[in-house]
Every structure is written in structure tokens, then in C-alpha cells.
Structure 1
Amino acid sequence: MPSTLPDGEPVPSTGQLPESALASVPGTPLSIYLHVPFCTTRCGYCDFNTYTASELGDAPGASRVGYPDAVIAELDLARRVLGDHAPKVGTVFVGGGTPTLLQADDLGRMLAGIRDRFGLAPDAEVTTESNPESIDEDGMRRLVDHGFTRISFGMQSVRPHVLQVLDRVHTPGRPQQAVAEAKRAGFAQTSLDLIYGTPGESLDDWRASLEAAIAAEPDHVSAYSLIVEPGTRLAARIRRGELPMTDDDDLADKYELAEELLSSAGYVNYEISNWSTGRDTQCRHNLAYWHGDNWWGAGPGAHSHVGDVRWWNVKHPAAYASRIDQGVSPAHAREILTQDQQRIERVLLELRLDTGLDPAVLTDRERSRVPDLEARGLVSADHDQLILTSAGRLLADGVVRDLLD
């Protein structure tokens, strides 16, 4: 797969960060993301950095067997770069790809790599994503034994014809069964991921998916509108006229239905696309991103953020493994963010949350635009925080554009 990563500026072979970034390490929460790039098949809508066995072929370093060792070697690099003042890790998220294509013991070994190098906070949240077909109850129990506390299953839809358009290969009903198995296995939290707006999906189809997800009683539900990414198989089918393009009005109707049904079932919409049963079941790892905390992303294509520096690794597993074997940073490039860039990102991210944004982050000119947004019913100033209304969540990107200079 050709790289589409931005160029940025070069990263030292040691991975060393500037002092401005290192100064943030002692006083900022630290999270770790581990990317597992392997999938059994490629879903037609997916543009994530993932690879099937046929795509990887015999490329050196692309083996699942040797992959955990490469990730652990990058964790060694992270420990050297962040130094002795790095805090214990508060959240870990293993994403992909399909992390549970690796053996539970391999995932556990990577988690132990984090624990041994940084330590885990006593209440650390440790999540893995999973295709529900790729793991059974015994595998889940072994993950819990290794220290995983949370599992997120890709459900997407309950309707077979919708799953077919998405090229999803799991059996309808399996995600709900997997939630029950995860609870029996001892996971403290479970989550289901849904997608709405697939070509050919009716409002009743979407209602059925929501009702099935709610009936499974996960602690957390994510509902994302389908984004047709250039270069995907789905985009090609739409371009050829085989499928219709997504419709904004349809997406809005489905988002409103999600909020209606999920809130009626006791879920709280704490972020635009995420609902939880309470504050204690929110995804703390994602909150770390939205609050601008520090995180190190290990694995091919993984992104990291420490202080005022953001960087991203080379994409292909073979290129990643080659750099790790040479003892050099796998980073492709980085950018150093100005204070204003950091401020703008804070606006973009914190407005997504139900806790909102401190208006003091805005410039005087930006604050002068707030009354107009309030008059249009898009934001409210509640307890000195700027918070999107339900209408504002539907138009969040436009609200941000109208707000910022």
C-alpha cells in the first residue's frame, strides 16, 4: 500500500523529542496506543492502515509471529525518549486491524511490555478492539487474566444486506453473543461499534441495529456515520453508479434516532459519536485524545503526541520492522505545533464533548461570535462552558468553522 502520510519534518534516528515536548511529560497523563495491522479480509469501506495475508505476502518483518517483539522494541524506544519522569500509563488501547487475530498471550505480552517499562496506574483502562468472529470466550478470559479491562466489538449493523455492502464477514447476532461472553469472562466494560448511512440501509434497518445493540446491554455504544473514503472499494462502487452516495439528510435522521433510542435506554451522549451508561463507563482512552493528553502510538502508521510535537510511523509492517531491527525510530515524520495550532485543536476536540469548551480558550473576536451561534440554537453557554446543543452536534464542523477566525 503506498504511503499517504504527510511529509512533515525529519525525526532524529533516536526518536529524541525537543525540550519543549519533554517538559510536558511529568505533569501530563500518558496513554499508549498499540496498532495491530492484520485483518482476515479488507472491508470495502475501510481506509485504515491494515493488511491481509495476501497483501503482505512474504515481506520480511510482516509476520504476526514476530510482530509483538517489534512493538515491544518500540516501547523500549519510548521509555528511553520519555525518560524517568514519565508517569504510569493511565490507558492502553489496542486497535487495528483486528488485534484479536493475535493470540491472547501475544496481546498480553505487549501489555506486559508497557507494564514493565512504564507501570500501569492502579485503575488503568486497558482496551482491545475485536472482530467478534476472531475470539471466543476462552480467549476473552485469557485477555482478562493478562490485565485487559475493556473490549470493543465491531458490530456495524444487524442487517445482512447492510453487512454485505460493507464487506463485513461476521454473522448477524454474533456481536451481541460476544458481549455476553465478554461479561462472563470478566471484562469490566464492553462496547459495540455501529455504522449508519450505508447505501441501501433504511431507517428501519438502522432502528433494528440500535435495538439489537441496546438489547445486548453493553456499557458503551459508538455510532459513526459512514464516510466514503477515496481509494476504498466502496468509493469505487459508488463512482461506478453501483451504489448511491450517502445523503446528509438521511445521516441526520439516523443520528437523531440513535440519540432518541440510546438516551431512552439510559445511555448518555458524552461525545458526538459516543454513548455510555455513565461517567465511569466512558472510553477514557478516547477522552485522553479529546483532552490533548500525551500518548505514544506504537506500530506501523501509529500516531503519537507529546506536548507540542506530533509524529507518525512508517505505514508498511515490513518497513516498520526494518527500522526496529536497525535500532532506529520507526517515525516517518513529525510536526511541532505552534501555540495557536494547539489552541485551535483544543477547540475542535473539546467542543465534541458534553462537558464543552472553556470560552477563555477563544480569542476576543471568536467569543463575539458566540451570541449568534446561541441565537441559532447551535450552542449553549452552560456553567461558563460552551456546549453544543443537539442541533449543534449535527452541524459540529460548521459550528467550528463559524466560530474560529
Structure 2
Amino acid sequence: MDTQLLEKKRRIKKNQKQGFKKVKYGYILFQNVDQIKVFYVVGDIDIDVDQLLNRDFFNACVSINQFIKVTSLVRTNELDFVDIFFDTQMQRQGDLSAPIRMLRDSRQSDLNDLANVLEEYHQTIQKKIIESLDVKNMKSGQLQNDYQEPISELDCDEFHGWNFEKSLEKAKKVINDLHIEMKNQSHHYSYMLFKGTKYDQVKYWLGQKLDYQRQFYCLSENQIDFLNMRKPLIFNYKHLSQYIQYLTNRFKRLNMIFSQDKSVRNHFRKGLAFLFESQIDAISVDNLIVKLRFQEYMYILSNYKNQQDDVLLVQKILPIGNQSATDIVKAQRNLKMQLNEKEQNSKKNPYYGGQIYTDIIYEAQSEIFKEKFYSIVDSNVYHSILENL
């Protein structure tokens, strides 16, 4: 395994130098380096075109973002939960023409469909960027002093003294209620809070249960903290089609939030409301697969007139059945261990060396050996996590 990792690092280093010319004191850039095709775009989301095009070596690990920086991490042991806070000053690009072109050039129908969704979103954000907002500035403090009644959901704008701190207070109440609701349940859940800016939304806060990372990524407590500080992971898909659907749903949601259709958005200003549900296959680092129901809920916390809104997203991961996803993974792992123990005990059988007995168990032995020694080493999820530890 060490030899494989060293060889992989050599290939990466070689690719990084292909776009440079060696000089006396180092390297100078003489052409564009396009080996890595990852775009960090408006809406606080990255588009990894390499991952989408590479169907033979699909990397199922989806991080919160390739570019975003973590500022702090807080564990709550009672809830077995971690809260991660991010730098909100990262710059994103509003031009999506390059990833759209690359996806269409692939001539693959599902990627072309994703390109169409990106094109629609691209038109929306371009309109936001170039349009002139002729809004008179009003002193929010004066309005706050004159306003006696509680602010309604539709009056949560900057002209009634609304700001991100008030959205944060509202989000904390919803999150506390969620913790109480899910406290006695073993199902995985998470949430993300986005801060609105003039033409964008920036990820501010991510919270998720730790047991999912322990069981699906097989990490120690120190490794979990280190990974969350460098590159927090939000999910690990088995199939590329499900990852494409995840991106499609996310860009459709962003398009809805960024568009001018207030009738739809006002529905989500009334409280945490159901957004969509899908069925997905999650894969662990040792290639155990669990079928899950993924539900997403949204709460638009503000109603700004001259900037994007603050938004809270809540995700619930429910198995197709009664057990939690982590319980299913643990049960599968225990079953593999029991089968391995039975295989070892079978060697004590006095007929173990006989031709008939050997033929019967040969296939089972081979499969157990392969899973035991190669399932983790050959796992794309494993290598993706290992690169960030």
C-alpha cells in the first residue's frame, strides 16, 4: 500500500510540473495548467469536472468544498455532534461557461442534462450581477426604534433592521429544536447555515453527527477532527449517477433562491419546510453499501431587498428500513468477521485437505481473502480520505 501511495504522489508531482519550464531558481509558468478542473462558483459550491468525467475511477467522497477554509470546530459529546465554522471571505466565480462547455463536450446525456441546469443557473446569477438595483438607503436603526410589533417573516429585511445576527438567532432556535427531536434517534442528520451577501451565499456553519464518520470512514477521533479541519466530508456516494443528481438538486435549489420568483421562496420563509427526498447508496471505506433515504428541508431566514438571503438547510439520512445507517454498517461488518472466523475454524476439520471439501469452500475462501486484504486498499473513498490526513 505504501508503494502505491508513493507512486501516486510521483504522478501528481509530475503532472503539476508539466505546465512549467525549469529555470535556475525554480519554475516559471509558460502555459495553462488544466490537469485539475475544479470550479468554485457563486452559491458556495464547487464543480469537480474531472470527477464527473472519470466514470471508471469515480471518487465517491464528496467534501463540503475543495476551497473553503475552516476557522473553528466545536464538539458536543452529549449529542455526539460536531459544529464546523467557515471563513466567509472566500472569493467565487460567477462565470460558469467553462464547466458548462466541458460537460457538454463529454457528449454524455446525464452530464448534458446537468449542463442545462447549470446554464439556467448561470443566466440567473449573471442577471443578478449586471442588474442595477435602485434602492434608497434607509437607516435601519431609526426604523427599529419606531417599529413596535414583532417583525413578520416577510418583513425580515434590511429596512426593518434585519441582519445576519438575527438570522443566526432564528437558526439556532430551529437547530436546538432539531437536536431535541433527534436526541433519542440513531438516524444521521446534519445542517448548513448560509450567509447572504450582495450577489452570493456563503457557507458559515455546518453541523453533523460523528458516528457516521466513525462507521463509514473508519476514522479515530483525532483523525475525524483533523479531517474536519482540513476538508470536511458530507457524503460518500456509491454511484456517479447519484452524485450527478445531488449536484442537479443543489443547483436547482440555488436557482430558485436566486431567482425573482418570490411566491415560491415565501413558502420557505414560514419555517423549516420539506424540499425533496431521494434514494441513494452510501459506501463505506471497506466497500459496505447501505441504501438510504435522503431528505432535505429548507428555511429562508430573511427577506432582503438588495442582497441574497440567509438560508438554513437540514438534511436527514434515513435507511430504507428501521435501523440507522451506522447500525446497518456495523451489522454488515460483524457478519463479515463471523464468516471469517467460521472459515478459520473450518481448517480444523479433519477433511479440510480433501479434494471435495476444498472445492466446496474454495470460492468462499477466495472471496473472504479478497475482501479482507484488498477491499480497503482498492477503495477510492479510502484513498481520498488518506490524502487529507
TM-score between both structures, scaled by the size of structure 2: 0.25
TM-score between both structures, scaled by the size of structure 1: 0.24
Larger radius of gyration: 2
